[in-house]
Structure 1
Amino acid sequence: MESRGENKARPAIARRSCDQCRVRKIGCDRGSPCSNCITAKAKCTHSPVASNAAAPKQRVLISAQYEQKIDDIARDISGIKVMLQKPAELSLPRRDCQSVVGGGGEPRWDHSTHIIDFVKAVLEDGVSRICGPEATAVLSSLKKIVHALDNPAATRHTPTMSQVAPSMPPLDAVLSVLRWAKEHEGLTRIAWVTRILPLQHFTDICRKVYFAVDEYSDVDFILANGYLSYIFSEHVLLFGLETHREYCRICRENVQDAILRLPMLLPTNMEVIAALTIGTFNAVENSNAKAAWRLISAASDLCQTLGYHRLRPRPKGDNGESTKSAEDRLFWTVYAIEKGLSLRLARSSNIRDMEITLPFDPDGPSSVRLGRVSGMIYEQLYSPAGLCQPDHERRDVATALAAAVRALINEAHAEISGCCAASDKDLDPLRVIYLQCDLVTQYSLLALILRATPTAEASVSEGSDDCVVVAREALEIHEQCLKALDGCKNASFMVTKYISCAILYCPFVPFSILFTRAVQLCDVADLARLDRFAISLHRETDTPEGLTHPYRLYQLLCQTARLYCDSAIPGSGDTTVVPRLQESWADFDSAYPGTETGLYDWCHDSHHFFGIVQ
């Protein structure tokens, strides 16, 4: 009997079992054909005998490229562990509000610090000044709105992140609008987007996402969807295609979802800043100012980390000039948005003008110039330091800022006149509407500046006439703008964006100025203006208005103003309201804490603004 060790010397078998016997797992006599196949009348086949010699193993040489990949994987895993261990509040903005245009739950609208404090002032004074069933109902509704604005977590729906792959607009529609955008680079909206990134850069990112030969990042996904949302939006306004409106909604929701996936510590590059800027403007259009502030703060920090705010040599190479120009445009875009949100939320800017050495173009885009003025309004007039400045310094600042805003207003009016007189068929048909939207913001800021101008005597007729005139002009421009919007292919779509970007983006003081004057003098004409403004915000939309919708808020304030005035009408039971108002106005300066000049500081409205109606 042979031992197992002697098998090594056995000669190799020339033929192994036939294929059929091997499949059937039965013994084969290795004949040709074998007996089993003859019995089964099957074709007997023999595959070649495989060599028993094992191929020598090759030594794996790990190159620098593979080592880098292994290190990247290790870092990614570590990053995931850190993210899972961190508290949720440390992450970038969470979706604590639904889209105003789409999404589930009741839509929520943010309002500026000014209007929130103004409503609180109305409530504080109204509780003791007006009475009756109607007054009780109105004040109760205003209290609910203030509670909703002060406690967003109680009214906002926070959905969980979906694990399903995000949907995207169909490729044929995307290709169509990308070609259309390339042929219409001069359109206002498209030109604005190219200040974030060059048009070709956006197109390349869209190609990268749709033809994902290599992996794309969440930043790429944000940029592609953000760009497409604006292009589809512009196309909807010009041609009214409902399918493109739906594609715009899909892209905007994709941006919101992708923002949630961004880590707290982001890479420092131009694309990340652009993605944060896109996310900021998306949040502004969704009326989520606080999320917009966190995003633009991160973008401004990265800009300063990369030195975009400093005068620096241009990179070498063929693309050095264009790269530097693109970085400069991106910085000024971030700058303008950040300054506007700083004023809206009454917060100090993250970008100090004294730190900027990049040349400021006095003839540059109006949005950048207006952003600079917005920053100065808060820093030099309404910040704690600005409120403490002597009268003559504050008056000089207000005069200079008012002149700067008036120059922008004059430019806008001149351009509107030029657009209306032009016969060029290629002229942007939406240009006039966008200019009118800008005018609403500019007039509102001008009113805010004039309201801060110290006067020798605080009186309804002395020193405030110009402010009242500007406030009325702002409401008139608003009415003109809405009439123009009604002519759009998709008016409700545009009106929603207009309310978020023109009425809510900056402190809309024209209403509060005329409200105070109407209550003080029972001015019927100003009351009518306020009513028209509130009614104009009520539009037939696809989503419910919600508790904090501007129409509901301003309508309740108009009702409150009429209740004040009704209480002063002879025969109403109180004939002393108007004299009290006129007497107390003269004492308003001395009653105002922190300033003896009648300076209007919305930060203290909730305690002192409506002291004038005692």
Structure 2
Amino acid sequence: MASVHGGETIRARRQRLSLLPRACEGCKIRKTRCDRSNPCSNCKASGITCQQPPVETESRPKVDRVAQLEDYIERLEERLSNVENQLAGHGIESEAPRASSVVHTGRTENETPVSQLLKDSPGSLYEGSSSFTNHSVEAIEVAQRTVGSNISGAASSVGASLSDLDALLQPSSALPALENHQFSFNADSRPLPTLESLPVALVLSVVRRMKANSPIFFSGYTVNDTSLIENLCQAVFFPTDPVSLGQLTSMNGILYCILKEYLATQDPLGKQYDLKAFLAKCDRNFNLGIETYDVLAVPTFDNVLALTLAVIKAQSECKPQLCCTLIAAAASHCQMLGYHRELTYRSDTRRIAEQKRRIFWSLYIFDKNMSLLLGRASNIQDSEIDVQYPSLSTDPGQLPWDRWYLMAILLAKEQGRIYETQYSAAALKTSTATREHHINELSVALQQWRTNLEQIDPSRVKHPEIFALSRHHWDIMYYSTLTSLLRASTTSGVGAEISSPCFQAARSSLQSHLRCFSGYQMIDMVSDKDFADWVLHNSSFNPFLVIFLHAIAATSLEDVQLLDEVVETLRKVRGASSSSERLYLICATFARIAGRMVEEQSSCVGLYDQQTDSLHLLDAMDQIPIIWPESLQDFPEMDTSADQFSDWGVPDMAGILTSWAEGQPSAFGMYGANMRGGQPE
């Protein structure tokens, strides 16, 4: 707020002058100087009535009121025109869908301009207690308390200035525009892709179907409220405000997940519509939306929802590197919006706050799991989180699923602690005693977690077959996480020790894998690809390497048989994706080598103590590579000279085992990143 000379603000000056009496009407007409008394001396001398000027009110002249109404009508007409343009631009159909739609990525005359589609700016962004804004607010509060105890004129002037400053710091006056998230904002030079149309009748049928019978998708992590999808579809198909790209992308992402489920379960809706064709449309629309700068860079609720759905899709397609990219973008949005802090939910309704919490904690689960799986620091730090967990449902059919969701959050917390205390760069510099202390502490925490998991009552759960099948998946997650914990290096520089509890956890993990695969085979709605994508590639396969080392160290035929059984399950799903094929080839090679070495009664991987059932690894790189060529040549079903081995080859496989033996995750080799000299190519 500007100020006049002497430190008096404009507002204070206006307030002071408004208190002064004004000249009477008689003196104004005669154009004489009025002494501003009542009655004034001029009116007394003239013997006329002294008429005081009327008090000004805040009411505007009639002309201004008419102009305001005209402007309001003009803005309403503009908004109505925007809605009509959007309906034409999105090609929303009220009848049955046309046979085909031509899709362009350039601007067409019916395409909605980006300035209209993204008119809604992101909300106020979260700033922590160390920020300049928060320090300024604290300083203002202190100054206001000081001024409040002083009733002088100077204090009044300072108080007005503080009020002006406080207004400048309010979130409403600092709403970040879209321009703050990009270098330029030119709708004409950066058109959005045209999304293929979906028939309104289909969307309405899906919404009615969801409300009548909650899909399995709603029993998971991210979304469990039909009103969110219903409101999202209303905002897109029957808009009263400009539709954002995040809304369009989120809607297509949710419909993609639900239509995919309806196809797998052979829902009766498939007899009315070609669900496979509409699933492909949703898939394409969703991909186009996710691959835009605005969704990745602009922090809004709809963009966070879209990115979280994209993480689920990337997991289902076994693309861990893409998954990490999407998690990083979504986590950044959450932190900028303050979803990790409880104070940012105070102004939200209970339903909206619950939706935000579920999305945040879902991202948290994905982030911590991928962190341990790939050996990378997580994007979301536990020290910054104080947001509450999602509430539990009162519906007895949904309650067990919600309890599992809470258990997933707690397991993710332990996975984050395992990485931080055992595998991070800082952890590798700590003493052996410190790391062993953390291992013992986390082992107890994981055991308590499993005890709590087993106490969940599934007797009234919705979708009981899927719930029972998921139980085996939890066993895999528990034992593979426990193996990664117990496997963490207890010595540095020379090698590592694998204890008997680690061998037991690894064996239990592979046995759980066999039970889980058998359960998936018995349910028609789940394909081999689903098993590969959701079970194999979202849990650590370190237990396989642990049992491989135990087999050749203890010359155990029982371990070799277990490895062969696991390889057989991998063989059945090897065609699900290139990652499944790669995982099969690597594990089959390890199993074959273990069989040959046990058969020849040869062990050269370290010092094995039969009494304690523990193995101390010395230097795996000097011992293992000499075995690989002969073993690979003896594979009856593999062509070792084929191009399929050119991408990973003998040195790569040796690198997988060596880096793992030194206490590093093996996910790079398992997922396809080439390791040469310890660096990914």
Change (3 A) 1:83 1:163: closer
- Corresponding residue of 1:602: 665
Give distance in 2, aligned partners of 1:238 and 1:503. 22
TM-score for both structures, normalised by structure 2: 0.57
Give distance in 2, aligned partners of 1:376 and 1:425. 31
Q: Write out per-residue CA displacement over residues 369-415 of structure 1, whole angstroms, 9 at most, x where no aligned residue.
A: 12212211211110111112212221121222223333333344444
1:559 is displaced (CA, Å) by 3.2
Give distance in 2, aligned partners of 1:333 and 1:227. 15
- Corresponding residue of 1:532: 565
SS at match of 1:491: coil
Give distance in 2, aligned partners of 1:323 and 1:508. 38
482, 499, 502: which one pairs with 2:532?
Answer: 499
Q: Which amino acid aligns with 2:468?
A: V
1:436 is displaced (CA, Å) by 2.1
CA contact (8 A) 2:495 2:616 kept: no
485, 489, 497: which one pairs with 1:449?
Answer: 485
436, 444, 452: which one pairs with 1:403?
Answer: 444
Q: Write out per-residue CA displacement over residues 548-598 of structure 1, whole angstroms, 9 at most, x where no aligned residue.
A: 33245334432344235425645xxxx7x32675479976358899xxxx8
How do 1:99-498 and structure 2 match up within 5 A? Answer: 165-166=195-196, 168=198, 171-185=200-214, 189-192=217-220, 195-196=222-223, 198-211=225-238, 216-239=243-266, 244=275, 247-263=278-294, 266-312=297-343, 314-316=345-347, 320-359=349-388, 365-415=406-456, 418-419=457-458, 422=459, 424=460, 428-452=464-488, 454=490, 464-492=499-527, 495-498=528-531
1:252 is displaced (CA, Å) by 3.3
1:248 is displaced (CA, Å) by 4.2
Change (3 A) 1:472 1:251: farther
CA contact (8 A) 1:205 1:224 kept: yes
Give distance in 2, aligned partners of 1:205 and 1:252. 17
Give distance in 2, aligned partners of 1:215 and 1:361. 30
Give distance in 1, aligned partners of 2:376 and 2:514. 30
TM-score for both structures, normalised by structure 1: 0.62
- Corresponding residue of 1:522: 555
CA contact (8 A) 1:341 1:506 kept: no
- Corresponding residue of 2:142: none
Q: Which amino acid aligns with 2:316?
A: E
Q: Write out per-residue CA displacement over residues 522-547 of structure 1, whole angstroms, 9 at most, x where no aligned residue.
A: 32222222222122134479xx555x
Give distance in 2, aligned partners of 1:428 and 1:178. 23
Q: Which amino acid aligns with 1:554?
A: Y
CA contact (8 A) 1:406 1:446 kept: no
The total of aligned residue pairs comes to 452
Give distance in 2, aligned partners of 1:519 and 1:83. 65
Give distance in 1, aligned partners of 2:677 and 2:618. 10
SS at match of 2:343: coil
1:228 is displaced (CA, Å) by 1.8
SS at match of 2:465: coil
CA contact (8 A) 2:552 2:597 kept: no
SS at match of 1:278: helix
Give distance in 1, aligned partners of 2:491 and 2:389. 32
Change (3 A) 1:472 1:164: same
Change (3 A) 1:172 1:516: farther
Q: Which amino acid aligns with 1:303?
A: C
CA contact (8 A) 1:300 1:350 kept: yes
How do 1:48-59 and structure 2 match up within 5 A? Answer: none
Gaps of 5+ in 2: 1-66, 83-112, 120-177, 392-402, 623-660, 670-674
1:455 is displaced (CA, Å) by 8.2
Give distance in 2, aligned partners of 1:528 and 1:323. 52
Q: Which amino acid aligns with 1:432?
A: A
- Corresponding residue of 2:580: 550
SS at match of 1:384: coil
Q: Write out per-residue CA displacement over residues 192-248 of structure 1, whole angstroms, 9 at most, x where no aligned residue.
A: 25x447431222212333446765332112211221222234434444677546644
SS at match of 1:349: coil
Give distance in 2, aligned partners of 1:217 and 1:260. 15
CA contact (8 A) 1:268 1:306 kept: yes
Give distance in 2, aligned partners of 1:271 and 1:499. 30
Give distance in 2, aligned partners of 1:183 and 1:554. 42
SS at match of 1:357: coil
Give distance in 2, aligned partners of 1:82 and 1:162. 9
Q: Which amino acid aligns with 2:217?
A: R
SS at match of 1:274: helix
Change (3 A) 1:520 1:313: closer
Change (3 A) 1:531 1:328: same
1:507 is displaced (CA, Å) by 2.6
CA contact (8 A) 1:311 1:358 kept: yes
Give distance in 2, aligned partners of 1:356 and 1:441. 24
Give distance in 2, aligned partners of 1:564 and 1:448. 21
Change (3 A) 1:321 1:263: closer
Q: Write out per-residue CA displacement over residues 266-314 of structure 1, whole angstroms, 9 at most, x where no aligned residue.
A: 4332222111111111111111112221211111112111222123165
How do 1:558-597 and structure 2 match up within 5 A? Answer: 558-563=588-593, 565-566=595-596, 569-570=599-600, 577-578=602-603, 582=607, 588=617
1:83 is displaced (CA, Å) by 10
1:471 is displaced (CA, Å) by 1.3
Give distance in 2, aligned partners of 1:327 and 1:500. 27
Gaps of 5+ in 1: 1-57, 86-160, 610-614
Alignment RMSD, CA only? Answer: 4.5
Change (3 A) 1:277 1:72: same
CA contact (8 A) 2:252 2:283 kept: yes
CA contact (8 A) 1:202 1:223 kept: no
Change (3 A) 1:580 1:466: closer
Change (3 A) 1:198 1:271: farther
SS at match of 2:566: helix
Change (3 A) 1:329 1:540: closer
Change (3 A) 1:328 1:171: same
1:326 is displaced (CA, Å) by 2.8
Give distance in 2, aligned partners of 1:483 and 1:331. 33
